[in-house]
Amino acid sequence: MKFCRFLSILLAFVLLSSVLSCFAFAEGIVEPQLNYTKNIDAFITISGGKATVTGNISPLASTETRKVSIIVYLQRKENGKWHSLDSWSGSATNATAKASGSKAIERGYEYRALAVGRISTAEGVLLERPTSASSSQSY
Q: Report the pLDDT averaged over residues 85-89.
A: 98
Residue 22 pLDDT exceeds 50: no
Confidence band, pLDDT 50/70/90 cuts, at residue 29: low
Q: Count other C-beta atoms under 10 Å from residue 134's C-beta.
A: 20
Helix (H, G, I), strand (E, B) or coil at 80: coil
Q: How many C-beta atoms lie closer than 10 Å to residue 64's C-beta?
A: 9
Superfamily covering domain 37-138: Immunoglobulins (2.60.40.10)
Residue 62 has pLDDT above 60, yes or no: yes
